[in-house]
Structure formats: C-alpha cells, structure tokens
Amino acid sequence: MAHHKSAKKRIKTSEKKRVRNKAALSKVKTLVKKVFSLEDKVEAAAVLKEATKVLDKTAAKGKIHKNNAARKKSALTKHVNKLAAK
C-alpha cells in the first residue's frame, strides 16, 4: 500500500483511467463484432457509421493508435461493401 499522499492519489487516478479505457475499448470491440456479424447491408452500414464515430473518438483521445483505428475502419468498410443488399 502507498504511504505518501501523492502515491495514494496516483492509485485513485490510475484506477479511474483504467476503468474509462476499459469501457472505451470494450465499446469498440462490441461494435466491431456487431458489424462483422450482420448480414444485411443496410443495417451493417448503419452500425458501421456508429463504429467509425466511436473509433475516431477513441483514437483522438489516445486510447488506441490512429493507425489501429484506421485499420479497423478499413476492414469494417470492406466487409460492409462485400455484403449483398437485401
């Protein structure tokens, strides 16, 4: 356990950041899986739009690297473009 006041504060702030980062990364993973699981092009395109927005925000805040976000968006877009419209 920490003994200094500053070390105790660092533990608290680190935990807050860890929880926020985990939530953001979890949301990204969930949306990516959701897009890949969809078979309807219209529905997948709608979820893709939301996933792109979340990926951009996550990368802008530095939670993931911008190239990682770009790679994920590219893969998702390719998947949606391959789908046949129903």
Model-level pTM greater than 0.95? no
pLDDT of residue 2: 82
- Provide the 3-class DSSP secondary structure of residue 65: coil
The token duo for 40 is 């309807």
Residue pair 25/63 in contact by the 8 Å Cβ criterion: yes
pLDDT of residue 84: 80
pLDDT reading at 85 higher than 80: no
Percent of the chain surpassing pLDDT 90: 93
